[in-house]
Amino acid sequence: MTAAGGWLSDVTFWVDGVPSGGTAPSGGGGAVPPPPSGGQGFSLSREEAEEALREFKGIYDDLVRMEAQARQLREMRPAAEDPASLAFHETIVGGAAGPGAFGYGHGHVLKEIEFFGRLVARLEKALGLVTESDEEANQQISSAGGSLPRHNKGLLE
């Protein structure tokens, strides 16, 4: 497992015996390795995978909305300019000593958004909803400057 890839980078999702992004062999085609048994991966029926995908997309959408609220908390101003208010404000919102409670909370929400974004992408790929050509087209559009910046979607690069 790599720090950049996270724990999902080496986990395979199997939907109805087909690995993430794979296709089932036809007739005399090549063999598909068996679903995981105690190894790295999840084996789901198509119905289970679709239900999990709906649930994870809902969580992802909730987190994106929550991120905007958490970001606003970091922009709060102190109630007054007295030493007690300023010290409390720095503890909660952040300042020279670090990000503060709201800053750490915002960072945690960003990490959850990244996690659920990857989880949704892996399940979509396992269900065959996203193909390699879709991913290549997205990369080409992004490199040409035709996509929205990631931070507008609430994702981490």
Taken in order 139, 145, 146, 150, is the CA torsion positive or negative? positive
Q: What size, in residues, is the chain?
A: 157
What value does the mean pLDDT of the chain take?
Answer: 76
* Residue 14, SS3 per DSSP: strand
- Could you tell me the pLDDT band of residue 58, with boundaries at 50, 70 and 90? very high
Paired strand residues for 42: 13
Task: For residue 88, give every residue at least 6 positions away whose Cβ sits within 8 Å of its Cβ, in sequence order, or none.
Answer: 78
Share of the chain above pLDDT 70, in %: 64
Interval 108-121: pLDDT, tens: 999 999 999 999 99
- Read off the pLDDT band of 2 (50, 70, 90): very low
CA–CA distance, 72 with 85 (Å, rounded to integer): 19
Q: How far apart are CA 115 and CA 9, in angstroms?
A: 11
Which residues are 98's β-sheet partners? 95
DSSP for 117-140 reads HHHHHHHHHHTTSS-HHHHHHHHH
- At 80-104, the pLDDT tens digits run 999 999 999 999 998 888 899 999 9
Residue 71 has pLDDT above 70, yes or no: yes
* Chain-centroid distance, C-alpha 23: 25
pLDDT reading at 17 higher than 70:
no
Is residue 103 helix, strand or coil?
helix
- For the chain, the distance separating the N- and C-terminal CA atoms, rounded to the nearest angstrom, is 18
Closest CA to 32 of 47, 19, 51, 20: 19
Q: What is the pLDDT of residue 69?
A: 94
Check the CA dihedral 20-17-55-107 and report its sign.
negative
